[in-house]
Amino acid sequence: MSTSEYRPEFTAYEGNLDEVEVRASEPLKNFYGMSLEDLKSYLSGLGKEQFRAQQIFKWAYERRITDYELMSNLSKTFREELKGLLDFSMPPVLSHLISVDGTQKFLFDMGDKNTVEAVVIPSDDRLTLCISSEVGCNMGCKFCFTGKQKLKRRLKASEIVGQFMQAHDRLKPGQRISNIVFMGMGEPLDNPEAVFKSIEILHDPWGMNVSRRKITVSTSGLVPEMWRVAANKVRLAVSLNGSNDEIRSQVMPLNKRYPIKELMAACHEYANETGEKVTLEYVLLKGVTDQLTHAQELHRLTKSLPCKINLIPFNEHPGSGYERPADAQIEKFQNELIRLGSHVLLRRTMGRDIFAACGQLTSEFANKPQTMDISNSKIGSTYSKTKQPLSPSRTVEINN
């Protein structure tokens, strides 16, 4: 190799020049994976003032400006230095689907042919982002589309925050993501360090300032990690989906490791420590979890726990082997729980026509369905009076 081809990088050093060491260039740190304290520490270690971290946070999060040349309150010298220190890249959006009910689904490129989906769910008083924490999932829940693909890798905090920012940047003027639910692809408590780091970043007042009370972490029942939810002062949702161990183990293999008794004990511990109700998610599968005897068992199981029960009519996906109950049966199940005195809500089905509803998220693969006929059930649908199959609008964005 000629000297003209070799470009070493030198470390500034005060002393004998013979002791100056050549070091390889270090990869840039991704800004979206750093908390404010992380950035302060990083800059301080470089001999910079810590308040510069707050300035950068304000530019990047509040003003959404990541071009250093536009950060006018930073010196020109410092701006030039930062170009070699921080990376503001986010997971590219590969596709952006919009449902007839306004639900938006994003497919993100996580590199190495790995993709995840996230969903923005509109309602009258809030805009909720359902976010993913892993590519695939190891929990293997039988009714979940994600569960059909094994875990490929856990996402970094920067990739979780990046999903939020990409969705945020595509909102209409005046709109704001008010709520975050970790109910997308993957088991959040199987990737706790990155999940709770991303919560710290998004909650920071200098960042996106999302209230911890507006953030929910959902788990399939990874009992040993559930303490983290209370410790981070966010809300807990638990995928129960079975009124007894036999049924729950059938649809959720994790129950064999952490049966209902252990799971409910962890839920009681969370409620006692935080004073908050636990949200129990219960998927209604035709002939499996939707009978009145199941409703009665569910009430007995949960009546001593401060909780609300979210009933979720099953959302179909290819090869699931399960069916969605008839609307009449769903109503009977709900009414039985109400009669018994449970606090129960019927989850409004959103985005089902673009495979964006609960349990329908997955990575991209050959012949993956993009739309479906949703005319077989009207219950809980925003468009319940529509009689014909609905076609969503679609935009596609590559490498943006």
Catalytic residues: 117, 358
The CA distance from 155 to 150, in Å, is 14
Cβ atoms within 10 A of the Cβ of 126, count?
12
**Residue 220 DSSP one-character state:** S
Distance CA 325, CA 285 (A): 6
* Alpha carbons within 13 A on the beta-carbon side of 375: 7
d(CA 382, CA 215): 24
Q: Considering only CA atoms, which of 310, 304, 308, 300 is closest in space to residue 276?
A: 308
**Buried/exposed code over 52-62 (b: 16+ C-beta within 10 A; e: otherwise):** bbeebbebbbe
Give the strands of the sheet with 344-346, arranged side by side. Answer: 344-346, 307-313, 278-284, 235-239, 215-219, 179-182, 127-130, 115-122, 104-109, 93-98, 393-395
29 touches 87 (CB < 8 A): yes
**Backbone angles phi and psi of 281, in degrees to 5:** -95, 130
CA distances from 150 to 50, 135, 146, 173 (A): 42, 8, 8, 38
Find out whether 187 and 133 touch, Cβ atoms under 8 Å: yes
Q: How far is residue 234 from each of residues 167, 229, 276, 345, measured CA to CA in Å?
A: 21, 6, 9, 21
Give the DSSP letter string of 86-135: EE---PPEEEEEE-TTS-EEEEEE-STT-EEEEEEEE-SS-EEEE---EE
Q: Count of CB atoms within 10 A of residue 358's CB? A: 26
Report strand pairing: 29-30 vs 393-395.
unpaired
